[in-house]
Structure 1
Amino acid sequence: MRITFPYMGHSHWVFRQLLSELGHEPIVPPRPTKRTLDYGTRYAPEFACIPFKVLLGSYLEAIELGAEAVVTTGGVGPCRAGYYAPLHQRILADLGYDLDFIVLEPPLRNLKDFYRQLRKLFPPRIGIGKLLGILSRAWVKLNAIDYLERLSHQIRPRELEPGRTTKVFEQCLELLGAATTVSEMKAAREEGRRLLAEIPVDREKELLKIGIIGEIYVVLEPFINHNVQILLEEMGVLADRSIYLADWVRGNALIPGEKDIKRAARPYLKELVGGHGLNSIGETVLYARRGFDGVVQLAPFACIPEIVAKSIIPAVSSILDIPVLTLFLDEQTGVAGIKTRLEAFVDLLWQKKRKGAGAQWKQVTLA
């Protein structure tokens, strides 16, 4: 079966191998571009959030490449992400495309349904040993990608040759993408670490520390957030992203996790509000405790969970004295506007850092 999937960050390297080893032909959707977003915006409801539109555009581009089915995730709680798959399927059907959707709901909520959907991807009479081998290789590759990406984000703010880290990290991804066995992946991971370690850096450079929080898709997909993390790092900021896919899978699909985040959020928000709304509160608290200079919240325009979080963050910001910049993103958002806002925020943080803790800082919201 020719199967496509959502394009999100660097995860396509993993999904391509996983589907291929399961006997399918993976249709990797093109990296999202303005064409992707225009496609999705044309056929999506006007009120739909930007992840919905980008995903719809990605599926349409994958159909052009011959996709016959989509494997994607569902969702729980008061967040529209749980309705993405059936709505996407209906819109595509109205356009004349009859695609099968395999929707994987969180296994910790309903393990039986998760396995029933996952079973559709398995070849007939596959042995448990072979299946575990396929899954373990995908897991090793995902963790290796996240490890090297984290390392690149530590190096980029200090690099002496602008753009070098980005080029080297792309090499690392190619190495990992070509690796098919666990030993090859470990070797590629080590080679990637070596390549990144060779980048000349200024180890004495003073850096701001900014945490990045928000809805998972806009945080992980650079096209949607206009490369916010890299933009910050190029401004001399150590930008720490709160979400990496391997961590999310570990804490939401394998074992109950994120207890520290929920505990940190509890004084301000006790209820599940869907999406990553509660996480945005808890992670802001944790960044403040870790001595970060500020936080950037990324949210799709009209995202209810992040709107709820945004309404609470000013209290967190005031009590813990940590400035927060909220950026709402939609198809009208441009990189120039994002960069200008980030530059202003960074300038304010430098002023605060040099003057020391003083006046109370309020949340800044920029759509």
Structure 2
Amino acid sequence: MKITYPHMGSLSRAMHSLLTGLGLEVVPPPPITQRTINLGVLHSPEFACFPLKINMGNFIESLDAGADTIIMAGGTGPCRFGYYAEVQREILRDLGFDFKMIVLEPPQGQMNLLLDRMKELTANVTWRHVMSELLLTWRKIKAMDSLHARALYIRAREVERGGTTRALDGALARVEAAKSGDEVDGALQRGMAGLNTVDCDHNRVPLRIGLVGEIYMLLEPCANLHLEKTLGEMGVEVERSIHISDWIKEHLVLSSLPLKRKSKIKKAAAPFLNHFVGGHGWESVGETVLYARRGFDGVIHILPFTCTPEIVAQSILPAVSAKHGIPVISFSLDEQSGEAGIITRLEAFLDLLAQRRLSTAGTKTMK
């Protein structure tokens, strides 16, 4: 078995670590390039969402490199993500590839279904070893998320552009290479220390912007045109509403338990949207409300072009903006999106936020 997987932010680092730790031969997908996107677009339905097209490019490049097995997450509800694996399987077979696809569906209260699929990967490994590797990978994911969150804070204040990104890349590589929980903790501490030594202007009071939207578009820099990095280097402090550890905890751990629960995010969304619409549409509305309550200057909503759940959220966000007094801008992205156009819109949005902050400060002074 030569196994591969799709890219999705730092999750690909964690997947490589887990699969290698389970003794599998791994064919990591090449870094996402324009060639990757072109391949995916060429062989995908025109109106399929952008993440499916990028994943298709990942799979084609990995299968060309010798992979014979693909591991892929599944999905439920109105979001088309639940159909990705089936559509991609048929397209790849039509292209002449001979491979096996293992789809890990959300447990939905039945953890045994997920474990049954895991057995296809772990037939020659003891469950004790599997659990050990899963726990180690979980610690790595938590560490990577912590490093990423810290980097978003530091980058907005760095004096030399690029210093934060270099420190973060080195820290993530050390976490990925860790062989034990103690090594993960050590890599995390060293990474945090490295980020904290980046030369910063701590007198700077940057704009604070929350990022909401579809999970893949938020997590994968090549899909969102490196939006977090661009904003940080423009002097903006960014907070992402979704991290990989949050998604795993919600969709793989808590969803395996037969519990009825309603998070604070969904409670915040309730006056505007009170039911599941697929994907992260519900969360996009609720997180925007919470960012407004926390005093953020604005919210950026990122979605793939034609994404139904996020289109629902997009239609509701103007009402949230008006009710809670927080500016919101949406970016609907696909293979046609260009960096120059995005930056032009960003600059205009940031100018609006800066003037709004000055106006608000002046009003408070007059009072």
- Scaled by the length of structure 1, the TM-score of the pair is 0.95
- 1:29 corresponding residue in structure 2: 29
Map of 1:33-72 to 2, 5 A cutoff? Answer: 33-72=33-72
What secondary structure does 1:243 align onto?
coil
Distance, in Å, in 2 between the alignment partners of 1:42 and 1:315 is 38
What secondary structure does 1:356 align onto?
helix
Alpha carbons 1:23, 1:123 under 8 Å: kept = no
Q: Deviations over 1:68-110 (max 9, x none)?
A: 1111111111011000001000000000012211111112343
Residue 332 in 1 paired to residue 331 in 2? no
Alpha carbons 2:17, 2:177 under 8 Å: kept = no
- 2:282 corresponding residue in structure 1: 278
Map of 1:273-352 to 2, 5 A cutoff? Answer: 273-352=277-356
Q: Deviations over 1:27-57 (max 9, x none)?
A: 1101211111100000101111100100000
> In the superposition, relative to structure 1, how do residues 282 and 357 fare at CA in structure 2: closer, same or farther (>3 Å)?
farther
Give the drift of 1:357. Answer: 8.5
What secondary structure does 2:300 align onto?
strand
Tell me which amino acid in the other structure corresponds to 1:56.
M
- 1:18 corresponding residue in structure 2: 18
What secondary structure does 1:71 align onto?
strand
Alpha carbons 1:22, 1:123 under 8 Å: kept = no
Distance, in Å, in 2 between the alignment partners of 1:321 and 1:298 is 20
Give the drift of 1:326. Answer: 0.2
Give the drift of 1:112. Answer: 2.8
> In the superposition, relative to structure 1, how do residues 299 and 258 fare at CA in structure 2: closer, same or farther (>3 Å)?
farther
Distance, in Å, in 2 between the alignment partners of 1:217 and 1:109 is 24
- Which of 265, 270, 289 pairs up with 1:266? 270
Distance, in Å, in 2 between the alignment partners of 1:37 and 1:110 is 36
Distance, in Å, in 1 between the alignment partners of 2:282 and 2:109 is 18
Alpha carbons 1:251, 1:258 under 8 Å: kept = no
- 2:120 corresponding residue in structure 1: 120
Distance, in Å, in 1 between the alignment partners of 2:303 and 2:220 is 12
Distance, in Å, in 1 between the alignment partners of 2:164 and 2:282 is 33
Q: In structure 1, list runs of 5 or more residues that go unmatched.
A: 359-367
Q: Deviations over 1:293-345 (max 9, x none)?
A: 10000000010000000111111110001110000001000111111111110
Map of 1:101-140 to 2, 5 A cutoff? Answer: 101-124=101-124, 126-140=125-139
Q: In structure 2, list runs of 5 or more residues that go unmatched.
A: 256-260, 363-367
Distance, in Å, in 1 between the alignment partners of 2:113 and 2:336 is 38
- 1:188 corresponding residue in structure 2: 187
- 2:81 corresponding residue in structure 1: 81
What secondary structure does 2:39 align onto?
helix
Distance, in Å, in 2 between the alignment partners of 1:245 and 1:307 is 23
Give the drift of 1:233. Answer: 1.1
Distance, in Å, in 2 between the alignment partners of 1:109 and 1:219 is 27
Distance, in Å, in 1 between the alignment partners of 2:21 and 2:209 is 39
Alpha carbons 1:108, 1:254 under 8 Å: kept = no
Give the drift of 1:185. Answer: 1.3
- 1:220 corresponding residue in structure 2: 219
Q: Deviations over 1:95-146 (max 9, x none)?
A: 001221111111234323222212211133x333222111111111111111
Aligned length: 358
Give the drift of 1:258. Answer: 6.9
Alpha carbons 1:278, 1:309 under 8 Å: kept = yes
Runs of 4+ aligned structure 1 residues displaced above 4 Å come to none
Distance, in Å, in 1 between the alignment partners of 2:173 and 2:82 is 33
Distance, in Å, in 1 between the alignment partners of 2:98 and 2:274 is 42
Alpha carbons 1:213, 1:219 under 8 Å: kept = yes
Map of 1:144-223 to 2, 5 A cutoff? Answer: 144-223=143-222
